[in-house]
Amino acid sequence: MCSVNNCHYWGKGNRCEAQQIFVVSDKFADTATDHIDAPQASMTQATPVNNCMETACKTFVPKGSYMASADGVTKQQ
Ligand code: SF4
C-alpha cells in the first residue's frame, strides 16, 4: 500500500503496482542513481536507519517520466 499517487507505479486504492520495490535509507537514496533499484538490491550494502522518517522508496518514478524503464522494475500484470 502506498499513498504517493504521482508515482508511475501507483494504482487505485493506494496500491503499489510495481512487481518489486526497493526501500533504502534517505541518505543512500540521496546519492544513488535512478538505475539502482530492486534488481540490484542483493548487491547493495545494507543501509540501516533509526526510524521510518529516514527511509525512502528507491523505486519511485514520477508519473509520465521517461525514466520509468531505467531501473528494470516493471508493473504487475
Ligand atoms: S514504487 Fe514506491 S513510491 Fe511508487 S507506488 Fe510503489 S511503494 Fe509507492
Residue 77: the pLDDT is: 77
| Secondary structure string (H, E, C) spanning the chain | CCCCCCECCEECCCEECECCCCEEEHHHHHHCCCCCCHHHHHHCCCCCCCCHHHEEECCCCECCCHHHHCCCCCECC
What is the number of alpha carbons within 13 Å of residue 64 lying toward its C-beta?
2
Residue nearest to atom 6 of ligand 1 (CA): 16
pLDDT for 29-71, tens place per residue?
A: 999 998 999 999 999 999 999 999 999 999 999 999 888 888 8
From the CA of 11, give the closest atom in ligand 1: 5
Q: Domain ranges in the chain?
A: 21-63
Rounded to the nearest angstrom, the distance between the alpha carbon of 59 and the centre of ligand 1 is 6
Mutation pick for ligand 1 pocket among 3, 8, 16 (CB with most ligand atoms within 8 Å): 16
Residue 61: the pLDDT is: 95
From the CA of 57, give the closest atom in ligand 1: 2
Cβ–Cβ under 8 Å, residues 58 and 22? yes
Residue appearing with cell numbers 550494502: 45
